[in-house]
């Protein structure tokens, strides 16, 4: 059975992947991600909840190889800002990625490294999102149940968190009147500051 090892399985209801490598991210690992740093520190002083887990399946690490990860991102907010992933560029900048939602309500923020072009896209079943190379990407749970999704990427993609952490995503996704809205981070912060 030469190809047996290439069959894997996951549960789209729970995000569990048989035999996967699991990474867990807690609130304390997302310092600097949430726009309202006072709300972040206040929340962290109370608890350090699990924000998301990522189950990664690697087959091989050569040029041309692919891997995938199933993410489970919890519902919740820091102030009005929804729980999110750290967000990254790929260490190998040319690497693209495809995301597909399975369950829950989410969005992705995409931001081109070169010129800052940016957009929020819905992360839903049957609507794959293609993240081109050289594009920072962050996943956000705008719903009330865990957001479960798959991401398929070149095995060599890698993660570069530092580049986008310094500049940060220019958009924030916040809850207003029960609905997610996307706003310019700097403008939103200045509005809140002047209250």
- Given the rule CB under 5 A, which residues bind Zn ion? 97
CB of 86 to ligand M6P, least distance (A): 4
Q: Does 90 bind ligand M6P (CB under 6 A)?
A: no
Give the binding range for ligand M6P (CB under 6 A) out of 5-13, 42-50, 82-90, 112-120. Answer: 82-90
- What DSSP designation does 128 have? -
Q: How far is the CB of 14 from ligand M6P (least distance, A)?
A: 15
Q: Are the C-beta atoms of residues 185 and 129 closer than 8 Å to each other? A: no
Residue 31: name its binding partner from Zn ion, ligand M6P, none (Cβ under 5 to 8 Å by kind). Answer: none
Strands 81-82 and 77-78: antiparallel
φ/ψ of 70, rounded to 5, equals: -105, 125
Query: What pairs with residue 50 in β-bridges?
Result: 26
Of 81-89, 140-148, 166-174, 175-183, the segment contacting ligand M6P by CB under 6 A is 81-89
Per-residue burial over 27-65, b if 16 or more Cβ lie within 10 Å, else e, is beebeebbbbeebbeebbeeeeeebbbbbbbeeeeeeee
Q: Which of 53, 85, 142, 171 binds ligand M6P (CB under 6 A)?
A: 85
The number of CA neighbours under 13 Å toward the Cβ of 97 is 31
User: Is residue 93 near ligand M6P by the rule CB under 6 A?
Assistant: no
Of 159, 163, 187, 190, the one binding ligand M6P (CB under 6 A) is 159
Q: Which is nearer to ligand M6P, 88 or 103 (CB)?
A: 88
Q: Judge contact between 134 and 112, C-beta under 8 A.
A: yes
At residue 112, φ and ψ (nearest 5 deg) are -70, 135
Exactly one of 71, 101, 106, 180 binds ligand M6P (CB under 6 A); which one?
71
For residues 71 and 101, which CB has a smaller minimum distance to ligand M6P in the complex?
A: 71
Q: Is 69 in the site for ligand M6P (CB under 6 A)?
A: yes
User: Which residues in this chain contact ligand M6P in the complex, by CB under 6 A?
Assistant: 25, 54, 69, 71, 85-88, 97, 139, 151, 159
């Amino acid at each position: 059975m030469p190809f047996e090892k290439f069959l894997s399985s996951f549960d789209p209801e729970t995000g569990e992947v048989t035999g996967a490598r699991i990474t867990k991210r807690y609130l304390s690992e997302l310092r600097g991600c949430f726009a309202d740093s006072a709300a972040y520190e206040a929340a962290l002083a109370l608890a350090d909840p699990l924000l998301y887990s990522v189950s990664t399946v690697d087959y091989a690490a050569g040029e041309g190889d692919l891997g995938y990860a199933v993410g489970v991102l919890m519902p919740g907010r820091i102030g009005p800002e929804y729980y999110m992933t750290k967000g990254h560029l790929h260490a190998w900048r040319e690497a693209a990625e495809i995301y597909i939602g399975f369950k829950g309500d989410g969005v992705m923020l995409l931001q081109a490294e070169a010129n800052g072009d940016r957009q929020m896209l819905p992360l839903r079943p049957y609507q794959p999102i293609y993240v081109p190379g050289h594009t920072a990407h962050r996943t956000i749970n705008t719903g009330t149940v865990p957001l479960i999704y798959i991401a398929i990427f070149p095995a060599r993609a890698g993660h570069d968190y530092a580049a986008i952490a310094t500049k940060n995503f220019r958009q924030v996704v916040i809850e207003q009147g029960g609905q997610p809205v996307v706003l310019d981070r700097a403008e939103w912060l200045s509005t809140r500051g002047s209250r």
